[in-house]
Each structure stands twice: as structure tokens, then as C-alpha cells.
Amino acid sequence: MALDVAIVDQLKQIVGDDRVLTDTQSLSAYGVDRTTVWRAAPGAVVLPGATEQVQAIVQLANREKFALVPSGGRTGLCGGAVALNGEVVVALDRMNRISDFSEIDQQVTCQAGIITQQLQAFAAERGLFYPVDFASSGSSQIGGNIATNAGGVKVIRYGSTREWVAGLTVVTGGGELLKLNRGLVKNNAGYDFRHLFIGSEGTLGIICEATLNLTKVPEALSVMVLGVAEFPFIMNVLKTFNGASDGNGLALTAFEFFSHAAMAKVIEHSEVPAPFETAAPYYALLEFENGGESDMNKAMSLFEFCVENGWVLDGVISQSLAQSQNLWRLREDISETISRWKPYKSDISVSVSRMPDFIDAVDNLVREQFSDFEVIWFGHIGDGNLHLNILKPEHWQTEDFVAKCGGVATHVAELLQRFGGSVSAEHGIGLLKKPYLNYTRSSAEIELMKRVKQVFDPNGIMNPGKLFD
């Protein structure tokens, strides 16, 4: 849908002629995220370079009554950054500067468009650590991470993005500029709107700047990959190595799992070596702080305990940084490897204690519903997060495949409701999961969400159609 020429001219006055894009290639590139279900149809793409320009764009949108879709690294998997109906995409790529750093406070303030990996490198250069990490850290942006409360592979130790956000500068859907919390550790002065914007998926306003906490760099990290005999045994391995009840575990920084089918895809297409010769139906990847010989001995002792109990068939522990990286690739390369099959993805969670029974129920469902499809499993089992990926057969039309998977998604959502879980563990709701929100949130909660949006976005211009209608 073409945008009115007069509006395009006003946008150019705000950001400059060459920062408003209307060509077909740009509209296609900026109008979608990594979902493949929808076709991009924005009216224009605008690239502001400062918070003041973002505010001017939002104020113009309110006056002229056109909608906005905030856009970060476009790595999302739920359609949260898709522009379908002539919206103006506000891409924050140019807002990628670090404006402040405090060694004393261990905080960094940056614009929302900075790449996650660049922020991690900035912290590392100063002897500090930004721990929120995931496979897309080389292309995702901090603003998008915050807008989806991104999780990743180290949640078991460090939590999700929310735990690291000390302050935000935002422009609300009504055009107000808010500076939220300002990096304070203690601030008990009324409502903390910062936490409303974290995970709001751009429906309340646009995150322009963030103050983020940093922490100490972990000690030398070692990685183990263990071949697990049965899915439920993964929980026994987690309990053993975490040692939460008896204090005999390791300081885990990650606990991941993946199926043999997932690993086989990575080995075949990424040329990553297999971790060991023994084949297992499932694998657990553990990362832990290795303080020296004592921790290494403990790791080996726990491994032997798991083998003796029949939970683990084989295993390997990294002896070098290169080996650690290759072991991590077995897990982190899965999403990129299977993308060629246009998988239908389910990002779901339940309490860790309920995971064994939930997994058994999902396994039964998969056997009943997906007997003709190849299913790829992986996830962050250490924090109850499971990724179910169904690969599209080559001879299936995309529309038929999505329709089939959508029907099964309802059954998965019903299981999640029964187990008290969530239809979205870390990727948000967007367009893809909007039909299933009511399985995790009550009608009263959804109604209150709508009222909150009305307060911050009175004209409904911010990312319309996402989360709820």
C-alpha cells in the first residue's frame, strides 16, 4: 500500500531524503522478520538517527493517522516486526551508538539499534560481561531484545533481558518522551513503567535508549555434551549437575538439549564434527565455570554417576576453546541449519519440575499428529523452555503445511494450559501466536493489556495487530 506523498515528504524533513526508503527491495527487506508466513507490505521505511527524530515521527503518525512498526534486527520468529498493511517501518539501525559507561556502576548506556554482539564485545574490552546471549546475537539489536524480553542460552544462570535493564528512554505511542528508572538500583517511587515496555513488542511505543547492567566475567568455561538414553533422563542429568538440593553440583551457566535428528542436520550441513562415536536419541549440553582441578574432578564424578544410573550413554568435555566452540555449534547452529525447510516453530515453556510429564504428553501428541513429518527438538531445558520444530516436506505447499501445523498448535496450547505453561517462552506473541494467547493469559489479563495499550497508544498507531486485535 503506497504511502501518501505528502507524508513521505514530511518524513524526509525529519530524517533526511536518503533516510526514507520506498523502493521494492527495501520494503521487502525491512517489512518482515525471520518468519516466512507473511509477505511484507509496508508503505515506507524510515531510519531515524536520534531519539528526537523518533519522537517527531511518532507525533507525525498521530497527526496524520498512519501506523508504525518498530524494527530492530528483524531476527524475530513470531511476526512481531511484520508490516502487512502499509505501515511505516521505523528501523533503528542507525541508532547504534554507546553514549555512556560507568565502571563504578558497571553500567552501559546505548542506543536501541546497537547489535547485541557489539555490546558484548564492548563489555569484554572493559573486563566485564553482558550475559544475555543467543544464536542471533550477531544480528539482533538491543532494542528488539528488550521489546521481546529475549532469553537465550544462559537464562539458567543469568535470567532474561529484563534482569539487566536498569533504565530506558522511550517514546510512547502518544508521542511522549519518557526516561524510565535512569539506571537506579533502588527506586520505589510509584509504578515502574520500564517493565511494561520490556516484552511489549513495540505495541506501547518505541525503545530508543537503554541503560544495561554488566557483571563480572565468569571464570574459564568448560563445555560437556552428554548422550542421553531417554528424554526424561535429561531431567535427572540436570538435577545431578545443578546440585541444587545437595550443593554437590557445578556452577552451570547453560544447560541445553537437542535431539539426534537436530545434531545430524548440523553435522551434515555445517561440517561440525560429532562429539563422540556413540549415537544417542538426545543430547544435553552443559556449560560450567571451571575453577580448576577440583571442578574438573567433580564434573567427571557426576558424569560417571549418570552413566552408572543408565541415564547417559557417552560424553565429552572440552579441552580447548576451539573444542568448546565446536560443541556449542552443535546446539547454536540448529536454527540456521533447519531454516531451509521452513519449519513451523513452537517456543513453549512449563515449570522445570513439570517438564517430564509435559514432554511425555507432547511426545504422544507428536506421534499422533506428525507421523509423516520430521520433527526437530531442542531447547533451554535448564529453564523449562522447549523448542518444537516441524520441517515442511518439499512436496507440501506452504499454505497446507501451515494449516496442518496450526491445528496441532491448538492441541499443544491446550496441553500448556493444563500444565500451567506459556505459549511463548522467549520469542513473544506477534502475529503467529496471537490466536493462542488466551491459553496462557486469562480474559481479564488480556482486557487489562488492551487498556494499558490504550493509555500509552491512544490512537492505536503502534505495531497494530500484534499481541491482540
Mean pLDDT value across the chain: 93
Residue 137 has pLDDT above 70, yes or no: yes
Q: What angle do CA 152, 157, 158 make, to 5 degrees?
A: 65
Confidence of residue 371 (pLDDT cuts 50, 70, 90): confident
**What separation in angstroms does the CA of 69 have from each of 6, 22, 30, 54, 426?**
19, 15, 10, 12, 20
Q: What is the pLDDT of residue 24?
A: 94
- Average pLDDT rounded to a whole number, residues 127-148: 94
Q: How confident is the model at residue 363 (pLDDT cuts 50, 70, 90)?
A: confident
Q: What is the pLDDT of residue 95?
A: 98
pLDDT value for 342: 86
pLDDT value at position 256?
95
Residue with cell 535512569: 182
Class of residue 103 by CB neighbours under 10 A (exposed 0-12, middle 13-18, buried 19+): exposed
pLDDT at 134 over 90: no
We find that the CATH architecture of domain 5-94 is 2-Layer Sandwich (3.30)
At which residue does the C-alpha cell 563422540 appear? 276
| Residue 103, CB-side half-sphere exposure with 13 Å CA sphere | 4
For residue 111, give the H/E element and its range: strand 107-111
Query: For residue 106, what are the contacts with CB-CB under 8 A and spacing of at least 6?
Result: 128, 213, 214, 215
Please tell me the distance from the alpha carbon of residue 467 to that of residue 437, in angstroms, as a whole number.
8
Supply the pLDDT for residue 244.
53
Q: What is the pLDDT of residue 258?
A: 95
Q: Evaluate if residue 99 carries a pLDDT over 90.
A: yes
pLDDT at 230: 92
Give percent of the chain with pLDDT exceeding 90: 78
What is residue 115's DSSP assignment? B
Among 27-41, 60-74, 368-382, 395-409, name the most confident range.
Answer: 60-74
pLDDT in tens, 2-23: 789 999 999 999 999 999 999 9
Tell me the average pLDDT across 147-169.
Answer: 95
What residues contact 37, with CB distance under 8 A and at least 6 apart? 79, 398, 402, 431, 432
φ, ψ (nearest 5 deg) of residue 10? -70, -40
- Output the CATH code of domain 342-426: 3.30.70.2740
Residue 330 pLDDT greater than 60, yes or no: yes
- Helical H runs in 181-320? 194-197, 233-242, 260-270, 293-308
Q: For residue 16, what are the contacts with CB-CB under 8 A and spacing of at least 6?
A: none
**Helix/strand/coil for 73:** coil
HSE toward the beta carbon, residue 372, CA cutoff 13 A: 8
C-alpha cell at 93: 539501525
- pLDDT-based confidence at 1, cuts 50/70/90? low
Task: Report the pLDDT averaged over residues 90-106.
Answer: 98
Closest CA to 173 of 158, 193, 187: 193
Task: Look at 46-55, 61-70, 116-125, 388-397 and tell me which has the smallest mean pLDDT.
Answer: 388-397
What is the reported pLDDT for 345?
84
Model confidence, pTM: 0.92
Would you identify the CATH topology of the domain 221-335?
A: Alpha-Beta Plaits (3.30.70)
How far, rounded to the nearest angstrom, does the alpha carbon of residue 318 sit from its chain's CA centroid? Answer: 27
Query: What is the average per-residue pLDDT within 389-410?
Result: 87
Is the pLDDT score of 423 beyond 90? yes
The Cα angle at residue 402 between residues 399 and 404, in degrees rounded to 5: 110
If we measure between CA atoms, which residue out of 56, 83, 60, 61 comes closest to residue 70? 83
**CA separation, residue 177 to residues 62, 79, 226, 227, 293 (Å):** 14, 27, 50, 52, 53
Q: Please state, for a pLDDT cut of 70, what percent of the chain lies above it.
A: 99
Provide the grid cell at 29.
527487506
What was the pLDDT predicted at 271? Answer: 81
Average of per-residue pLDDT across 206-216: 98
pLDDT above 90 for 373: no
- The domains of the chain are located at 5-94, 98-216, 221-335, 342-426
User: Confidence band (pLDDT; 50, 70, 90) for 369?
Assistant: confident
Which class would CATH give 98-216? alpha beta
- 110, 210 in Cβ contact below 8 A? yes
80 and 101 Cβ atoms separated by less than 8 Å: no
Evaluate whether 464 touches 204 at the Cβ level (below 8 Å).
Answer: no
Are 87 and 68 spatial neighbours (Cβ–Cβ below 8 Å)?
A: yes
The pLDDT-based confidence of 37 (bands split at 50, 70, 90) is confident
Average pLDDT score over residue span 170-199: 97
Taking only the tens place, the pLDDT of each residue in 240-271 is 998 754 567 898 999 999 999 999 999 999 88
pLDDT tier for residue 311 given thresholds of 50, 70 and 90: very high
Beta strands 177-180 and 98-102 are: unpaired
* pLDDT at residue number 448: 98
Fold match, 221-335 / 342-426: yes
